[in-house]
Amino acid sequence: MAHTAYTFLVVAEDGTSHEHHTRQRTGRVDTWLRRAVGATPTPILLAAAHLVAWRDAQGPSLGRRPNPVAGLLIAHLGGPRVPLHGPIAVTGYRDGTARSLTTAQVDAVLAVLTHCR
């Protein structure tokens, strides 16, 4: 049985980024997002083509640290200027569904992220 590869990026509170490659065997994308950002993954729609960012909506109330690098990244990708707390994840997005990032999308997000640090 072939497993679907899934790629997403996580930007931690300290501004470091991590590219995650996982195999989709069982479960759903929201399971990975919960592990990456927290209990309540909430989408942040971006103007950048076919991208969406995810944050934990409860981050501030849980005492998560501010994430200014992620806030700048979201703004540079055409998202709203909102205070972010805790890590964020960036995935592809099509037809209302989170999708794996393509290699081109990973490269584009990392290029923008370089200017946000």
**Residue 78 pLDDT:** 96
**Residue 30 pLDDT:** 81
Q: Which residue has the higher pLDDT, 67 or 5?
A: 67
Model pLDDT for residues 74-89, shown as the tens digit of each residue: 999 999 998 899 999 9
Q: Which residue has the higher pLDDT, 117 or 52?
A: 52
**Residue 27 pLDDT:** 62
**Residue 40 pLDDT:** 86
Which structural domain range is residue 39 located in? 4-116
Q: How many domains does the chain have?
A: 1
**Residue 80 pLDDT:** 95
Model pLDDT for residues 22-75, shown as the tens digit of each residue: 886 666 788 889 999 988 899 999 998 899 999 998 888 888 999 999 999 999
Whether the pLDDT of residue 1 is over 50: the answer is no
Secondary structure string (H, E, C) spanning the chain? CCCEEEEEEEECCCCCEEEEEEEECCCCHHHHHHHHHCCCEEEEECCCCCEEEEEECCCHHHCCCECHHHHHHHHHCCCCCCCCECCEEEEEEECCEEECCCHHHHHHHHHHHHHHC
